[in-house]
Amino acid sequence: MRNRHIIPLLLVLLGLVGVAASTARRPPVQAGATTRAVTAAKAFLATLDDAKRAKANLELNVKTRTIWSNLPTGTTLQSGATERNGLKLGDMTPDQVKAALALVGSTLSQAGFRKAMAIVDADQVLETNSAPTRAPAARIRFGRAEYYVAILGSPSETEPWMLQFGGHHLAINVTLAGRQNVLTPTHTGTQPASYTVDGRIVRPLGGENDKAFALLNALSAEQQKQAILGYDVRNLVLGPGTDGKVIQPEGVRASGFSPAQRTMLVDLAREWVGIVSDETAAAKMKEIEANLSDTYFAWAGATTNGKGAYFRIQGPTVLIEYAPQGQGDNNVDHIHTIYRDPTNDYAAKAAAR
């Protein structure tokens, strides 16, 4: 299937990657992650009129920072709460969209930005495929136009502020507090799990899936026995709306892993941690590796790649879950994941100082 509707977004992506590459070739005055984000945030806000700016730039407080969702636009929430903050791409001009995506890209690694855009493109495929069968009056909408950008607080190199970018199956929450850039909590997902662009298969979360199955099957029989839970898990345990909740570690403890198994576990965790800017991700990975002996790997479901399975990585400063949606072993085309830090979601450590 040739998805022509994806091409414009990929061209924007290539353009932003080119900008990042040209910036990287400049002399040593290259800005840090927070400085880049502040510059991009101010540039984006400058493209907006007062009405749009009022939607895009909100106060940062304990309530606004928790307003995010993985649900599609138009979903009725039982609580009646706002689905998400910000201004959606569908209400922006092309120049504003370009500036908004440049802002998102300024806080992420190149690989992380590609992953985010692949999730957006998957949702456009879902919109294209579902629109013909949807009732005209239906409120729920999918697709690229339904993704929102929000700046919470005033962009600053010293004081905390936050960037949110999200829509169906994507909720990126980056809190910037001086040199600290904190990606947690962030939700990634995809539906469909794979699609084709110009003959090339795209799997937004393919690395997460394949590396997890490889790790499970690299475990010994005794390690697998410890890792595999004795019950089914059908959704995220600590997904959206569960801020502050904790669960007890389960599964196999990495203290007993071989060096090769430990490397595989670290590489799997990097699929989430590496979404954020390279310098920020590197520091977080060192923290995770330092606590690896107290980190657990848990599994529920099929053990053969290509079938549905839930897994969890849980350590002192990291909680990652991957949960296919639906029933049975073949529920592989609709994925939810969450990435949290139980000690530092929303940069809680910086706020506490």
Mean of pLDDT over the chain = 89
Strand boundaries in 6-96, DSSP class E: 57-58, 87-88
Rounded to two decimals, the pTM is 0.90
Amino acid 352: pLDDT: 65
pLDDT value at residue 327: 66
Same domain, 171 and 211: no
Asked if 107 and 8 sit in the same domain, the reply is yes
Question: 154 and 266, same structural domain?
Answer: no
Q: Which residue has the higher pLDDT, 16 or 189?
A: 189
| For residues 273-302, average pLDDT | 97
108, two tokens: 């992420």
- Clarify whether residues 63 and 179 are in a common domain: yes
Residue labelled with tokens 């530092």: 344
Q: Do residues 133 and 260 both lie within one domain?
A: no
Q: What is the pLDDT of residue 353?
A: 55
Confidence at 133, pLDDT banded by 50, 70, 90: confident
268, HSE (Cβ side, Cα atoms, 13 Å) = 29
Residues 40 and 134 in one domain: yes
How does pLDDT run across 40-69, given as a tens digit for each residue?
999 999 999 999 999 999 999 999 999 999
Question: Closest Cα to residue 281, out of 190, 184, 155?
Answer: 184
Structural domain ending residue among the three candidates 172, 197, 222: 197
| Cα separation, 125 vs 196, whole angstroms | 10
Among the listed ranges 72-81, 126-135, 314-323, which one has the minimum average pLDDT value? 72-81
Query: Do residue 162 and residue 305 come from a single domain?
Result: no
- The pLDDT score that the predictor gives to residue 9 is 55
Of 197, 215, 239, the one marking the end of a domain is 197
Number of independent structural domains in the chain:
2
Average pLDDT over every residue of 27-45: 81
Residues 97-114 as b/e (b if ≥16 CB within 10 A, e otherwise) read bbbbbbbbbbbbbbebbb
Calpha distance 288→292 (Å, rounded): 6
Residue numbers of the domain that contains 158: 4-197
Q: Are residues 31 and 131 in the same domain?
A: yes
Same domain, 181 and 294: no
15 and 119 fall within a common domain:
yes
Same structural domain for residues 159 and 78?
A: yes
Per residue in 171-188, pLDDT (tens digit) is 999 999 998 899 999 999
The better pLDDT of the pair 76, 216 is held by 216
Co-location of 316 and 172 in the same domain: no
Give residue 2's pLDDT band: very low, low, confident or very high (50, 70, 90).
very low
> In this predicted model, what pLDDT tens digit does every residue of 250-271 receive, in sequence order?
999 999 999 999 999 999 999 9
Mark which of 197, 220, 237 sits at the end of a domain. Answer: 197
Residue 281 near residue 302 (C-beta atoms within 8 A): no
- pLDDT, mean of residues 324-352: 88
Mean pLDDT throughout 76-82? 54
Let me know: does 62 contact 348? Beta carbons within 8 Å.
no
